[in-house]
Amino acid sequence: MSTASTGVTEDFWQDWRAATPARLALGRAGQGLPTDETLRFGWAHAMARDAIHAALDTEALAQALQSEGWQSRTVRSGAGDRATYLRRPDLGRTLDAGDAQRLRAEAGAGCDLCLVIGDGLSSLAVARHAVPLLAALRPLLPAGLRLAPVVIAMQARVALADEIGEALGARLAAILIGERPGLSSPDSLGIYLTHGPRRGRHDAQRNCISNVRPQGLSYAAAAFKLAWLVRESLRRGLSGVELKDESDLAVLPHEPPATLAPDLPPSPGS
């Protein structure tokens, strides 16, 4: 269908755009994209680039955590600045030597769970979603769980949590980290959980929860999944491919089991 006033030929999938942020049914103007779609693409690309390069405000994050009752520590990876971090992923997986020594000195008798917040590839995701997610998580954690202060990690890759957890003597380490931005999701938060964290752990030994944000996996749903994985990982002594996420089969606290089918009337003669 063509709109004479604008010169734009609409796509017949147009109505689907209300159901997804995906770039579909863009229409056309002659042999190219309509001007407004070209501008939207440029804006989305700029948002993704900004999310990667923007620095995380660690002081504001620490204050927000404190207001929610969380103690925190701030550390850095081996990547001294953002440019180095983007060019050298390996340095983002190693902890600054001085920070590693400080964490080991503070470890004491160790802990059950170490929570790490890493800027990753989207500081925007961390700034928006880390604190609300932890607020949803706290009441779901097992009673008596020994928690280390939350560690805010700068220039962090996923594996950095393993070294942090090892330094703190943690049985489990979970990192909340900004995921690689997409053109429709520059602020997606990921969570990775590792049992027995230590340097040299690999991806198959971690459980992942992805796309945490209001437009994706909600804070409540992500917190429930993480709390379930924490409980089961501690109980079974494992994580990763050996620990299948079956949280969808669990019953939410204080809620009756869902009815899978309506009650049917008794059959004749029963």
Give the mean pLDDT of the chain.
Answer: 86
| CA dist., res. 232 & res. 170, Å (int) | 16
**What average pLDDT does range 50-71 have in this prediction?**
93
Domain limits of the chain? 58-245
What's residue 260's pLDDT? 37
What SS3 state is found at 223?
helix
pLDDT value at residue 33: 73
Q: What is the pLDDT of residue 175?
A: 98
Pairing of strands 2-3, 189-195: unpaired
Residue 262 has pLDDT above 50, yes or no: no
Site of tokens 């089961």: 232
What confidence score (pLDDT) does residue 248 get? 85
Residue 256 has pLDDT above 60, yes or no: no
What is the mean predicted confidence (pLDDT) over 146-173?
Answer: 97
Find residue 32's DSSP bridge partners. 29
Rg of the chain taking only CA atoms, in angstroms: 23
pLDDT band at 181 (very low <50, low <70, confident <90, very high): confident
Helices assigned H by DSSP within 54-96: 58-67, 82-87, 89-92
- Fold of the domain built from segment(s) 58-245: Rossmann fold (3.40.50)
Which pLDDT band holds residue 49 (cuts at 50, 70, 90)?
A: confident
Cβ(129)–Cβ(219) below 8 Å:
yes
Q: pLDDT band at residue 200, thresholds of 50, 70 and 90?
A: very high
Instruction: State residue 112 phi and psi, 5-degree precision.
Output: -85, -40
* Least confident window among 6-15, 65-74, 126-135: 6-15
What average pLDDT does range 95-101 have in this prediction?
Answer: 96
The residue assigned the tokens 């079956």 is 246
Res. 265: pLDDT tops 90: no
What is the pLDDT at residue 264? 38
β-strand pairing of 189-195 with 206-212:
antiparallel
Mean pLDDT of 6-12: 68
Range of lowest pLDDT (16-25, 198-207, 230-239): 16-25
CA–CA distance, 80 with 20 (Å, rounded to integer):
39
Percentage of residues in the chain having pLDDT higher than 90? 66
- CA atoms of 141 and 224, how far apart (whole Å): 9
